[in-house]
Amino acid sequence: MKAPPFAYAKPRSLAEALELLQHPGAKVLAGGQSLIPSLNMRLSSPELLVDITGLKGLANIEARDGGVRIGALCTHTSVERSPEVREHLPLLAEAVAHIAHPAIRNRGTLGGSLALADPNAELPACALALDAVLIVAGRKGERRVPASAFFKALFETDLKPDEILVGAEFPKAAKSVFLELARRQGDYAIVGLAATSRGAEKRVAFFGVAATPILLKAKSLEEALKALPTPNADLYNTSATKRHLAGVLLERAWNKLS
Ligand SMILES: Cc1cc2nc3c(=O)[nH]c(=O)nc-3n(C[C@H](O)[C@H](O)[C@H](O)COP(=O)(O)OP(=O)(O)OC[C@H]3O[C@@H](n4cnc5c(N)ncnc54)[C@H](O)[C@@H]3O)c2cc1C
């Protein structure tokens, strides 16, 4: 199938992009790795695509204030290869290696993945586990949204249709673990988790289990196992199988963090 007809604009500034998004039926286009397939399958029919890949300053990675700020247009590959990410946020570098294959990682962006909020995706769970703050730009200025308030429902976030996610700040964690079970390397997860520890508390964000990533905070493994989510079944796995797998991953992660 071919995409339905749409208009296309490539703004040169954030202000121009935000103005274009006032157009009813306008949608942001970043790496296009999810949006273009969804157009081709006619799952989406925006009237205007606002291509933000020409905007300056949204593809920087900077270590600052005990963490790292990553621009929304950073590709998965640039995140994976960044020395700042590898040093301060090894969780993200490990997670990105599980996303699809190199051609997709070369074009897909951090902002696109967070804005899409696929429940089986790696980066939204990392944002929750790391307690990231997402930076959202609108015509009236910027607002900061904690990851815990950003992922609202299936493919639904706190972003309004005329807003642009411009970046995210990820605080450093003392220790972190990323674990994923997929049928093949690069497939979307059957179930996975991103976990961090700061002091006595551990934050474990599961993905592939519900409509959004699910965050569990606990001080002991017993407490964590009691709070284990009951996953949704998928086409291939029952809820019971996925719960068992989530429990196995949780125990492995706990042992690595302890
Ligand atoms: C075969 C295949 C396998 C894949 N496997 C995985 C996988 O295993 N794990 C995984 O996580 N992903 C996977 N992906 C998706 C990939 O990671 C995408 O790159 C990512 O989900 C979306 O990023 P993008 O930059 O391509 O966004 P786009 O496709 O351009 O946009 C996606 C959505 O986000 C919105 N959007 C994008 N950027 C912004 C922004 N800055 N502000 C506001 N809204 C924005 C768009 O309007 C659109 O609704 C896969 C994709 C394909 C085609």
Rounded (5°) CA angle 170-176-179 = 110
Rounded (5°) CA angle 209-205-181 = 55
CA–CA dist 163, 142 (Å, integer): 9
CATH code of the domain covering residue 78: 3.30.465.10
Q: Are 78 and 59 in contact (CB under 8 A)?
A: yes
Regarding whether 101 and 188 lie in a shared domain, the answer is: no
Give the pLDDT of residue 108.
98
Task: Give the residue whose CA is nearest to atom 1 of ligand 1.
Answer: 100
Phi and psi dihedrals of 109, rounded to 5? -115, 160
Asked whether residue 65 carries a pLDDT value surpassing 90, the answer given is no
Task: Give pLDDT tens digits for 68-106.
Answer: 999 999 999 999 999 999 999 999 999 999 999 999 999
Give the pLDDT of residue 116.
98
Asked whether residue 66 carries a pLDDT value surpassing 90, the answer given is no
CATH code of the domain covering residue 232: 3.30.390.50
Task: Give pLDDT tens digits for 129-185.
Answer: 999 999 999 999 999 999 999 999 999 999 999 999 999 999 999 899 999 999 998
> What's the 108 CA to ligand 1 centre distance in angstroms?
6
Task: Give pLDDT tens digits for 43-61.
Answer: 999 999 999 999 999 999 9
Q: Is 178 in the pocket of ligand 1 (CB under 6 A)?
A: no
Model confidence at 113, in pLDDT bands (50, 70, 90)? very high
CA–CA dist 102, 203 (Å, integer): 29
> What's the 119 CA to ligand 1 centre distance in angstroms?
12
In the listed set 171, 206, 240, which residue is the last one of a domain according to the structure?
171
pTM for this entry: 0.97
